[in-house]
Amino acid sequence: MGSILFAEREGVHVLKFVGDVRLSLGPTIASYLGRLEACDCFNGMIIDLSETETVDSTALGLIAKIAICTREKFNSATSIVSPRDDITRVLKSMAMEQVSVISSEVFGENSDLSELPVEICSEEAMRSQVLDAHKTLMGLDDENFDKFHELVDALESEDNDPSESSPKRAII
């Protein structure tokens, strides 16, 4: 399982994703996003993926939401540090350059980073985060729409029919 490290200095926020960044970290990312939206001291956002092994589509959608927040609320572009070609390929395949600046240049020292506490939420809240994250990705470009519309449709139909408790739940 992965972890998320955080630091803030003079209004510059840094999130560093370490290891496997998956659905299970969605509540932690969403909680951070809530704090960011309420932030009154903001001068920049750096998302460091230099130690990320894998990142799933839910986490990517939440990262996109952070980037959209910094653009809309603070009129600032989020910088994503991705020195690994495989991770950069995934970012570009999801059109993340639409909402952020992707750089292979590794971020400086990490001594101020501390781990964000892992947040846990209900299955219903998790499904809602997955749905919202994928809708965000779908909004970035047409290819993402084609990739995720069936998943989004399935999750929305689950929300509309809570009696359905199929073991094939589509949580990515």
- Express each pLDDT in 27-51 by its tens digit: 999 999 999 999 989 999 999 999 9
The sign of the torsion formed by the CA atoms of 102, 107, 111, 112 equals negative
Pair 62, 131 in one domain: no
User: Per the domain annotation, does 149 fall within a domain?
Assistant: yes
Pair 100, 152 in one domain: no
Pair 47, 84 in one domain: yes
Pair 93, 149 in one domain: no
CA distance 163 to 136: 27
List the CATH number of the domain containing 35.
3.30.750.24
User: Per the domain annotation, does 13 fall within a domain?
Assistant: yes
Pair 85, 135 in one domain: no
pLDDT at residue 161 tops 80 = no
Q: What is the pTM for the complete model shown? A: 0.86
> How confident is the model over 113-137, as pLDDT tens digits?
999 998 889 989 999 999 999 999 9
Angle, alpha carbons 43-76-116 (nearest 5°): 60
Q: What are the DSSP calls for 71-133, one per residue?
A: HHHH--PEEEE---HHHHHHHHHTTGGGTEEEE-SPP---TT-EEPPPP---HHHHHHHHHHH
Q: What's the total number of domains in the chain?
A: 2
Pair 51, 136 in one domain: no
User: Per the domain annotation, does 170 fall within a domain?
Assistant: no
Pair 128, 53 in one domain: no
φ/ψ of 24, rounded to 5, equals -60, -25
What is the per-residue pLDDT for 164? 47
Domain of residue 133 covers 123-160
Pair 16, 79 in one domain: yes
pLDDT at residue 168 tops 80 = no
